[in-house]
């Protein structure tokens, strides 16, 4: 069965419990194989909001990438996410980072899909937890393992913005 790597984030209280509920609910879409440690991160884009709780997980799923994305968006709504503004606060955010070793682009009008996630290599809050469960996984477009992407990002940033919860 294909494996999807998903990113989860929340910054509306109780953020950790929101992530816990999402992890549990994701079992309806397949088998949750492994969950990375939760981290706390500063918000990006819009700083005037609470810190985020983030993690990543591996989901073994029968769903192809675009149907999976639609199921994730439906799950976000069921867990209480309501539209706000770009980079605004959210009860839950679910993103597909990787889908097996595939490179996917689906120009769906409602949910355009890019896999691997186009900005994951720029995000400490993704790479840090990802490095705990898939350090040696090679990014299918960039050709580098996760641990190297994380190390390169941290060298560029200088100091970490995330910590283990």
Q: What is the pLDDT of residues 113-129, one digit of tens each?
A: 999 999 999 999 999 99
Q: Mean pLDDT across the chain, nearest whole number?
A: 94
pLDDT band with cut points at 50, 70 and 90 for residue 76: very high
Given this model, what pLDDT does residue 102 score?
95
**Dist CA 65 CA 103 (whole Å):** 10
Report the pLDDT value the prediction gives residue 165, as an integer from 0 to 100. Answer: 87
Identify the pLDDT of residue 43.
85
DSSP state, residue 147: H
For residue 121, give Cα distances in angstroms to 88, 97, 146, 147. Answer: 21, 10, 8, 10
Instruction: Give this prediction's pTM.
Output: 0.94
**pLDDT of the residue at 134:** 97
pLDDT (mean) for 136-162: 94
Q: What does the pLDDT look like over 19-72, one tens digit per residue?
A: 999 999 999 999 999 999 999 998 877 778 899 999 999 999 999 999 999 999
DSSP 80-134: T-----TT---S-EEEEEEETT--EEE--SS--EEES-TTGGG-HHHHHHHHHH-
Q: What is the pLDDT of residue 68?
A: 97
């Amino acid at each position: 069965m294909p494996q999807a790597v998903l990113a989860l984030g929340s910054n509306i209280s109780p953020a950790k419990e929101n992530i816990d509920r999402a992890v549990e609910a994701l079992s309806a879409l397949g088998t949750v194989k492994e969950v990375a440690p939760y981290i706390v991160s500063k918000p990006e884009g819009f700083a005037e909001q609470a810190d985020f709780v983030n993690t990543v997980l591996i989901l073994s799923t029968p769903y192809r990438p675009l149907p999976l994305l639609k199921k994730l968006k439906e799950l976000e709504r069921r867990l209480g996410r309501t539209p706000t503004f770009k980079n605004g606060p959210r009860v839950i955010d679910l993103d597909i980072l990787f889908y097996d070793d595939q490179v996917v682009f689906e120009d769906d009008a409602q949910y355009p899909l890019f896999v691997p996630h186009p900005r994951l290599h720029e995000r400490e809050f993704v790479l840090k937890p990802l490095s705990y469960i898939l350090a040696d996984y090679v990014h299918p477009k960039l050709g580098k393992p996760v641990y190297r992407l994380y190390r390169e990002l941290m060298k560029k940033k200088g100091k970490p913005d995330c910590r283990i919860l």
